[in-house]
Structure formats: C-alpha cells, structure tokens
Amino acid sequence: MEQAHLDRVYRRLEEKIHEAEFLMHDAAQRGHVGTPGALAERDAQVFRAGIHLNRLNNEFEDFLFGRIDLLLGKDGKKGPDGAYTAVEPAEGALEPDGTADIAETLHIGRIGVLDEDYAPLVIDWRAPAAAPFYRSTPVEPGRVVRRRVIRSKGRRVLGVEDDLMRPEITARLDGEELAVVGDGALMAALGQARTHSMRDIVASIQAEQDQVIRAPAASVTYVEGGPGTGKTAVALHRAAYLLYQDRRRYAGGILIVSPTPLLVAYTEGVLPSLGEEGQVAIRAIGSLVDGAEATLYDSPATARAKGSSRMLRVLRKAARGALEPADSPTLL
C-alpha cells in the first residue's frame, strides 16, 4: 500500500518538475521583449521557478516518512502555533461495541505535494495538519488511531513501523481490521546506526520537542538540556518551521550561531534535507564577520575560568536575562 502511494507521489513530482522547467523556459523566451516592469516580472518568475525546481529535484532519503489514520473528528480549536492539538473524535465515531471506521488517512513528508485536483498526496511536516503525527500519544491520542513511520530510500519503501494510539478499539480501514506492523517508530529510530554527520529527526520528533519547534515566534524560546538531548536538532528543525510559517518575515534569512566549526560541519546537511537551503546561514562564533577569522586562543587561566561551575551561573543569568526580544538591532 505504501509503495503504491509513494509511486503516485513520484509520478506527481515528475509532472511538477516538468511544469517548473516549462515556466523557466517560457520566461527565458521573453528576455528581449516587453517593458521594464515585464522584465522584472520575468526575472521573479525565473527565480521562483528555479527555487521550486531545485526543491523538487532533490530526492531525499525518506522523502515520505509518515502516515496517520484518523477517526471522524469534531471541530477543534487551534493552538497558538496553528495546530489542532485538542481535536477529539466526533460523536458516533466510536461504535458501542468498541469498533470504529478510519475516516481519514494523511501521509506526512518533507514537502507538501498536491494531486491534479489539489487534494493532498503528502502533507508538509511543518503544516498544522501534520501536528497530530507528533503530538498524539497513547495518553492523549486525539483522533489518531495508528501512527506509521515509513522508511524509504529514493523511490523504494524499505519498511514501516507502527504505533497504535488507541489499542482499546478495533478500527477498520476499507472494511478490514487495521493491522499493526513493526516495533514502533521510536524503537526503530533508536536502533539506527550513528554517522559522522547529524541526521534530521523529522520522522521521530517527540511531542515535547514538537512543542518547542512549533512555539510562537513572538518571544525568545529558551531550551535547556544535557548533552545529547536533541537541543541542536530541535533548533535546526525550528528554523525550518519558522521559514515555512512566515517566509516573508524571515526573507532576510535566519542565522544559526555554532560554538565551533566542527559543529557547523556536523550539522550542515540537516536543513537541506528538510527542504530549506539558502535562507539559513550556520556560522561558527569565530566566523560571524565576513573576511575575519578568530585565531586567538584563551590563556590557560581564562580557559579554566570558562570551564568552571562559576561560569555556568554567569551563563544561566545571561541567558535568562535575554528572554525578552530586542526592540531594535544591537551593535556588538
């Protein structure tokens, strides 16, 4: 079933690629005619088509990575991040005998894909409709009956891992009882081999991480945690989410400051794999100014002071004092 859907998605992607190529070719043919305004419109069309074509041509590993099977729902209220976090099944969605029919199935991926009739084949992971994929838990399942993580490479489905969110009911899909496959998405993610570069966690984001990623952009978001708890990965996914939600506001780009060049090299592949490339700059703190490279090393005494527990108190006080966003640019 998932292979057939992925095949359909890639057929649609090929059609969209041809459309983008035609737009670029058509705009190029208008290079020597028209008014200055028409030429400016042509340049904008070529630019937009080029960006769209670049995104479509990138066939990332696990392009389609998730699916949720939903009960019939009642109208819910949007949270501050635009996600329907409190949608519950509608009255009558559950039969008295504990059975229910799946009313809707959504596939989640790195970018959104619509069919010829503008129905969603793939929901962008950052869209509000995709939030239940991350927010649903067995304690608060909402409408989600089954959450499925799809492992694929290119155009081939390698396997699926299911989490049953409502084990107390017997759900039917197209008249057949809903099957559960695998050991669960989180166990599959934990079993992946580590590599020399950071992977995105888009298929295994947990509910608490999703709340940070989708937090309102009206204030500073402060995340604290020990080494290896996913702070950097969450920050990178938040940058991709903010660009998706309000691209005009962040048209000037997003700057991510890394403590070391090694971390820059380790993380540089994450944002392109999330469909965002070119609008986010990752710089080491010693390379923030173009043309200047920090080469001075701390003295042993300074290094000891920075590594002491006293510095931890200083940094915590400084971080908490910066929780209010600045009203204007600050020259450092």
pLDDT in tens, 5-20: 999 988 888 888 777 7
| DSSP at 148 | E
pLDDT confidence of residue 13: 82
Whole-number Å distance between alpha carbons of 59 and 297: 42
Q: What is the pTM of this model?
A: 0.74
Q: Is the per-residue pLDDT at 22 higher than 50?
A: yes
pLDDT band per the 50, 70, 90 thresholds, residue 229:
confident
67 vs 39, more confident: 67
Neighbours of 6 (CB within 10 A): 22
In the chain, where the domains are located: 2-57, 64-190, 207-295
From residue 115, alpha-carbon distances to 10, 101, 119, 308, 311 in Å are 11, 25, 5, 57, 55
Place of tokens 């208008």: 30
